[in-house]
Chain A
């Protein structure tokens, strides 16, 4: 299947767009949820798919004593390559940034 026949959901584009802004930075799930405005039920299936296809790497991070570790994510080299090729194809930003309004801290 060629790249032209690929169906890109707007939500997946939003997530990829957030990662591509700082490709080397590790990000938290809740942080991504706030930045993209996506609920957990939408965001995590996207992260799971991207990770399964090795576009995203994951790691566990221990932040505080007695607090469960946090799962963090960043694009792999393959992921960065996909985002760049998509940008070239579209000749525009992958998705419009939609800041979330939910409270909390990442």
Chain B
């Protein structure tokens, strides 16, 4: 008899549990497997034996549960192998029925939505075909429907999502023509396609209808950058060495703005309305494509460049003894950066800028002999530096733990790539 080890006892427990669950006619066989267990020497071999046996008993328990009236003892006499063939057929039928049941799930819109969402995290790993976000073919067909109905909101909805620049701009213009309250859609289409013709004139109109918002100015600055950018080696575009007058004017406007509204709230409300109106089941028609980033791509770079120009001019004023003028310059930078404090998505772009402005202010007040003001700004600088460190740590941690911005873990990526490699090797071999 084998030693009474923990794993042997566990194996016996598993089998006894199986025997308890099993129907009467299968219990004898469960006891038979239990009797053999005492003669298996290896611990893991005993566990494997018990698991296999428990699986057999569980299968009998399940059959007895699903077919309670079935008389297991009255199997037809004759060749058992005939019965085996029948069982095989039954397995195929059951498997087919299960598959059909699974496919039926796809008839439910909620299931299809959930399934598509579950695929999204693999998008950056598989990286094949059309993006899951904003399926363009579906949008083109939706564009035809909204135009037929002269639906301004529908046009704005499609314009914000189409990749086709000309079509997007045309639909946005038509939407604003039908409903002037939708003028904000120019802000969305404008930053997406800031190089399109007619953008400056429309953004100027938007600026007039939404005074104090920095977004139109940032779009115009990006446009000016694009017009004067320099193509460097490797096809990369760099901002011009000396800023253009149009860019300076636009950035001055942005830095004297009182707020920043990227129209995310309006976009979400529009998506809800249009999705309900047209019964849109595809989640990627309405989901936010840009992960909540609805400002011109050059915004961070432009703002930093312009802020450094202001700080330099403040330093020049300081050198000339105009401390009041210098303070105004530094405060202008601090004020601009503070506009983004409530926007977690954009705040990290200015992490490095804020401490610089506050440190300059603290230094000026020290020079002026104003200790309390100096200490106040020095404290703000420390807080800003701490925040910057926190963002940096968070970013590093995300990069270490995640394979992509969509949240694929490194393990999942690795396993997927391994599977792909195996499939590829198999197809190469055969």
A-to-B contact residues, CB < 8 Å: 1, 3, 5-9, 12, 28-30, 33, 39-42, 44-45, 47-50, 52-55, 58, 64, 67-71, 82, 102-106
Rank and list the top 7 A-B pairs by shortest CB-CB distance, nearest first: A41-B52, A71-B32, A40-B52, A53-B80, A104-B41, A7-B85, A30-B36
Chain B residues with Cβ below 8 Å from A28 are 36, 39
Among B42-50, B213-221, B312-320, B375-383, the stretch in contact with A: B42-50
* Nearest residue, chain A, Cβ from B53: A40
* A102→B52 CA distance, assembly (Å): 15
* Nearest residue, chain B, Cβ from A48: B29
Of the residues B33, B41, B75, B79, contact of A40 by C-beta under 8 Å: B33
* Nearest residue, chain B, Cβ from A51: B29
24 pairs, A vs B, C-beta closer than 8 Å:
A1-B79, A6-B79, A7-B84, A12-B81, A30-B36, A39-B48, A40-B33, A41-B52, A41-B53, A42-B52, A44-B33, A47-B29, A48-B29, A49-B83, A53-B75, A54-B77, A68-B34, A68-B38, A70-B36, A71-B28, A102-B42, A104-B45, A105-B39, A106-B39
Chain A residues with Cβ below 8 Å from B55 are 41
Chain B residues with Cβ below 8 Å from A106 are 39
Please state if B84 and A49 are interface contacts (CB–CB under 8 Å): yes
Is B180 in the interface zone, CB < 8 Å from A? no
Please state if B33 and A82 are interface contacts (CB–CB under 8 Å): no
Most buried by B among A30, A40, A67, A102: A40
Query: Given contacts A40-B56, A70-B36, A106-B39, is CB(A52)–CB(B81) below 8 Å?
Result: no
Please state if A53 and B78 are interface contacts (CB–CB under 8 Å): yes
Chain A residues with Cβ below 8 Å from B88 are 7
* Nearest residue, chain A, Cβ from B74: A52
Chain B residues with Cβ below 8 Å from A102 are 42, 45
Interface of B is mostly: helix
Please state if A53 and B77 are interface contacts (CB–CB under 8 Å): yes
B-to-A contact residues, CB < 8 Å: 1, 26, 28-29, 31-36, 38-42, 45, 48-53, 55-56, 59, 75, 77-85, 88
* Nearest residue, chain B, Cβ from A56: B80
Chain B residues with Cβ below 8 Å from A29 are 32-33, 36
Please state if A64 and B1 are interface contacts (CB–CB under 8 Å): yes
Chain A residues with Cβ below 8 Å from B38 are 67-68
Chain B residues with Cβ below 8 Å from A103 are 41-42, 45
Name the distance in Å between B225's Cβ and chain A's nearest Cβ: 69
* Nearest residue, chain B, Cβ from A1: B82
Most buried by A among B39, B45, B81: B81
Most buried by A among B31, B39, B84, B88: B39
Name the distance in Å between B148's Cβ and chain A's nearest Cβ: 61
* A41→B78 CA distance, assembly (Å): 24
